[in-house]
Amino acid sequence: ADFQAANKQPDEEVVFDVLCGDFNFDNCSPDDTLEQNHSLFDDYGDPCREGPGKEKPWVIGTLLKQPTLYEEDVNTSLTLKRTLETKELRKQYISPPVAAEGFPLVYPENGQPWIGRRIDYILYRESTISKLCRTEVEAVTFITQLASLTDHIPVSLRLNVTMDSNYDGDDDV
């Protein structure tokens, strides 16, 4: 909101508000409980998250185990894609959660899928966009094009932004 206030021109409409990056914490590690409950998640929606400490079942971790970066199963875009689509292979290459100090790690909880550490986020917020717009998440995708160049699996978010049908772009708002 501060950035928008400082940079938005009077004749402009903000149609989406996205915050993304490597946040260096995940939503499954007991060691990251403080960050999982950060007030940032009150303002921004995370399409991959059900709540603090709980991901949606289709989500995959975005941090590869560094020693495995150049192994055949993950060193090309195609092999990384196949690995991410295979539950048992994902467990071999995606970093597991970090236990809280002094406590054994129980992961995943009974009946929950194995996801791994998702530290790369794309969040969106509707409270700061034009009242003439509505934002809807169309897709979240995991990108494999950077295989063997980074230990991160980039994430993409496709938003559908709908303008009010009465808006003609010339009105003062």
For residue 108, cis peptide bond before it (omega within 30 degrees of 0): yes
pLDDT tens sequence across 4-47 = 889 989 998 899 999 999 999 999 999 999 999 999 999 999 99
The residue range of the domain holding 33 is 15-162
The pLDDT confidence band at residue 167, using thresholds 50, 70 and 90, is low
Residue 173 resides in a domain: no
Residue 113 resides in a domain: yes
Q: Which of 71, 152, 159, 163 is catalytic?
A: 152
> How far is Cα 33 from Cα 36, in angstroms, rounded to an integer?
5
Specify whether 38 is catalytic: no
Residue 144 resides in a domain: yes
pLDDT tens sequence across 123-162 = 999 988 889 998 899 999 999 999 999 999 999 999 999 9
Residue 2 resides in a domain: no
Q: Based on the structure, what is the number of domains in the chain? A: 1
Average pLDDT, the chain: 92
Residue 170 resides in a domain: no
Residue 172 resides in a domain: no
